[in-house]
Amino acid sequence: MGTGVLRLWDAAAFRQRLADSALSARELARRLGVTHTAIRKWQRGTATPIVRRLGPLAAALNCSIADLLVGDASDSLAGLRALTGMNQRDLAARAGMSPSHLAAIEHSRYPPSETALQRIALAFGISDRDVLRRLPDAVSSRRRRRSGRGGRPPRPGPSA
């Protein structure tokens, strides 16, 4: 979920919040520094706001960021980033890793190292366990197996 696509965007919720507000689409666009066309695309779900606009957008509509996202966004690492207004580049910089490394962790390409896990947790101000809970099952189960916590038992060493 870089600066382009916000996968958790709920266009229907946005339409309802905008309809309930005293703002027109043009006034909201002016306040956010975007075009009226961008607002219309957000309403249709054919485009999404960048993560950094979520805070100002929610404030303008007098709601929380979570109100504009599908389901419980805090259940995933990407959702937690959106709720805190960080994109992948922001979180990667805070965690001292490349955005591609973070993307690989988020998209189940490989489990995080102990160091990466600790850095991500520190960047969010949460525990390592809370980070693991938000990773896809495939990543967290591979992580547990690799560290000997859960999954198959470690192979016995050579006998003497």
Residues 132 and 141: their CA atoms lie apart, in Å, by: 9
Is the pLDDT assigned to residue 137 strictly greater than 90? no
pLDDT for residue 7: 77
Residues 64 and 42: their CA atoms lie apart, in Å, by: 17
Flag whether 154 is in a domain. no
Structure-block tokens of residue 149: 């916590």
Flag whether 73 is in a domain. no
Average pLDDT over residues 134-139: 70
Query: For residue 37, what are the domain limits?
Result: 11-68
pLDDT in tens, 92-104: 999 999 999 999 9
Range in 40-49, 131-140, 145-154 with the lowest mean pLDDT: 145-154
Query: Do 21 and 64 fall within a single domain?
Result: yes
Is the pLDDT assigned to residue 158 strictly greater than 90? no
Flag whether 81 is in a domain. no
Structure-block tokens of residue 110: 């490989």
Number of domains within the chain: 2
Query: Do 58 and 109 fall within a single domain?
Result: no
Query: Do 109 and 143 fall within a single domain?
Result: yes
Query: Do 143 and 92 fall within a single domain?
Result: yes
Q: What are the CA-CA distances from residue 159 to residues 153, 154, 155, 156 (Å)? A: 17, 14, 12, 8
Query: Do 61 and 23 fall within a single domain?
Result: yes
Query: Do 49 and 95 fall within a single domain?
Result: no
The mean pLDDT value of the chain amounts to 84
CA torsion through residues 144, 148, 150, 152, sign: positive
Look up the CATH number of the domain holding residue 91: 1.10.260.40
pLDDT in tens, 12-67: 999 999 999 999 999 999 999 999 999 999 999 999 999 889 999 999 999 999 89
Query: Do 61 and 101 fall within a single domain?
Result: no
Flag whether 158 is in a domain. no
Query: Do 28 and 58 fall within a single domain?
Result: yes
Cβ(55)–Cβ(5) below 8 Å:
no
Query: Do 15 and 55 fall within a single domain?
Result: yes
Flag whether 107 is in a domain. yes
